[in-house]
Amino acid sequence: MTAKFGMWLFLGSEVMFFSGFISAYIVLHNKHEGSKPAWKHTYINNLDANHHRYVTDDVIRVSLTDNRVVKGEEPKHHEAVFVFGQKVNEDMELLQNGAKLHELIEFANGDGVGPGGDEDHFAGITLRLSEVHEDEEGHGYRTIEVLDDDSGEDLLKEKAGDKPAVALHLGDGLVMIDEANGKEYRAQVNRKYVQTGSSHFLHGEIHLVERSVFHPDSRGLSVPLAALNTITLILSSLTMALAIAAIQRGDQTWTKLHLSFTISLACVFLVIKAIEYTTKFNHEIFPSTNIFYGSYFLLTGFHGLHVVAGIIALCILLWLTIKGKFNEHHNGAIECTGLYWHIVDLVWIFLFPMLYLLP
């Protein structure tokens, strides 16, 4: 009885520990809630007039289409979106002090703007791309100049004042992360090659969506894997409960079997978790990437440590059971460890919808 009370006291502090984390997570999530279209532009671009400049609300977007299109092939297409330190709309400021642009997605076409990525000429415009610089965090970026060939003036500086223009390589997707405000901006380009008679048109849409880093699409977590993990842990909770029932009957064989099942399922959980982590690391996503991943790795990491601790405890129990230390009268250790294991399961039951399913 004393041992069990001690265990409940410990579980109480565990509940507080994780409730604190989960509460902080919910508060952060709510602070960064939401997703809204920030800007959308539809253009129809005749391939002969192969540049398009769009200026609105102090935001400049330039899309450039290579006119070396072979009929019947997808147009070779370069696009860039430039957003400067001006307001995109009333309540949102993009790229002002502290906000950073990270080039996350390479040109879909692979070769960037022109061979070597240095300079390219389109009708009346020279596009000049700098070497890759590194910002203070080691992220690569390039500055870009768009020069009018006739007047020689920089078409972007004209609008952007003296701020350096940051080039965003835009393939099929573009991500900008505004770390200061926990938001990301994702541009999606839908384009279609249209032929009407002898004319070729490129019809495209650029959507710029402002999105919280907590948005499901920004999180990019695998719900099926996490759901599988949830079921794995629930199943391990079942086998743990059955192990306790077995030892209370004095059934040594089933106790050992159920303890082994529990340990195996806990290991399966960790393996799936490791797959999830590795996927993130391979995409260069780390706890420092943004506030969501900070919370995600913190919460799942601490939970994972609890699973590891549980596995160690269960292995000790299994070993002691094999040595015949437990019977129907003496099994408090298994019962208390069972309580701990159920709490580990319970915590995950709360973490799963919080981290993976919240809109």
Partner 1 sequence: MSDEHHDDHDHKPIFRKVFIALVACTVLTVLVSMWNMGTAMNLIIGILIAIFKGSLVGLFFMHLYWDGKIDKYFIFVALLPLVLIFIVLAPPLLDIGLLSQP
Which residues ranging from 95 to 114 are in contact with partner 1 (CB under 8 A)?
Answer: none
Member of 230, 255, 289, 337 binding partner 1 (CB under 8 A): 230
Q: Which lies closer to partner 1 via its Cβ, residue 108 or residue 241? A: 241
33 binds partner 1 (CB under 8 A): yes
Write down the least CB distance from residue 11 to partner 1, Å: 5
Member of 69, 267, 268, 358 binding partner 1 (CB under 8 A): 358
238 binds partner 1 (CB under 8 A): yes
DSSP annotation of 126 reads: E
- Pick the piece of the chain touching partner 1 (CB under 8 A) from 2-10, 46-54, 64-72, 259-267: 2-10
What type of residue is 100? K
In this structure, which long-range contacts are made by residues 33-37, counting pairs with CB atoms below 8 Å and at least 24 apart in sequence? 33/212, 33/214, 34/211, 34/212, 34/215, 35/209, 35/210, 35/211, 35/212, 35/215, 35/217, 36/209, 36/210, 36/211, 37/207, 37/208, 37/209, 37/210
268 binds partner 1 (CB under 8 A): no
Q: What would the x/- binding string for partner 1 be over residues 316 to 335, using CB under 8 A?
A: ------------x--xx--x
353 binds partner 1 (CB under 8 A): yes
Can you give the length of the chain in residues? 359
Q: Which lies closer to partner 1 via its Cβ, residue 69 or residue 238? A: 238
CB neighbours of residue 20 within 10 Å: 10
305 binds partner 1 (CB under 8 A): no
65 binds partner 1 (CB under 8 A): no
Whether 7 contacts 336, CB under 8 Å: yes
- Pick the piece of the chain touching partner 1 (CB under 8 A) from 154-162, 174-182, 267-275, 341-349: 341-349
Size of interface with partner 1, in residues (CB under 8 A): 52
Member of 72, 115, 324, 359 binding partner 1 (CB under 8 A): 359
Residue whose pair of structure tokens reads 């709510």 in the numeric block: 30
Member of 12, 37, 116, 173 binding partner 1 (CB under 8 A): 12
217 binds partner 1 (CB under 8 A): no
CB neighbours of residue 147 within 10 Å: 19
DSSP assignment of 227-278: HHHHHHHHHHHHHHHHHHHHHHHT-HHHHHHHHHHHHHHHHHHHHHHHHHHH
15 binds partner 1 (CB under 8 A): yes
352 binds partner 1 (CB under 8 A): yes
DSSP assignment of 320-339: HHHTT---SS--HHHHHHHH
Member of 86, 222, 248, 252 binding partner 1 (CB under 8 A): 248
- Pick the piece of the chain touching partner 1 (CB under 8 A) from 127-135, 168-176, 286-294, 345-353: 345-353
Angle at 121 between CA 142 and CA 124, to 5 degrees: 115
Write down the least CB distance from residue 242 to partner 1, Å: 6
Cα 77 to Cα 55: distance, rounded to the nearest angstrom: 20
354 binds partner 1 (CB under 8 A): yes
Cα 109 to Cα 107: distance, rounded to the nearest angstrom: 5
64 binds partner 1 (CB under 8 A): no
DSSP assignment of 157-211: HHHHTTSPPEE-EESSEEEEEEGGGTEEEEEEEEEEEEEETTEEEEEEEEEEEEE
350 binds partner 1 (CB under 8 A): yes
Whether 336 contacts 231, CB under 8 Å: no
223 binds partner 1 (CB under 8 A): yes
Cα 272 to Cα 265: distance, rounded to the nearest angstrom: 11
Q: Which lies closer to partner 1 via its Cβ, residue 108 or residue 257? A: 257
Residues of this chain that interact with partner 1 (CB under 8 A) are 1, 3-5, 8-9, 11-13, 15-16, 19-20, 23, 26-27, 29-30, 33-34, 223, 227, 230-231, 234-235, 237-238, 240-242, 244-245, 248-249, 328, 331-332, 335, 338-339, 342, 345-346, 349-350, 352-354, 357-359
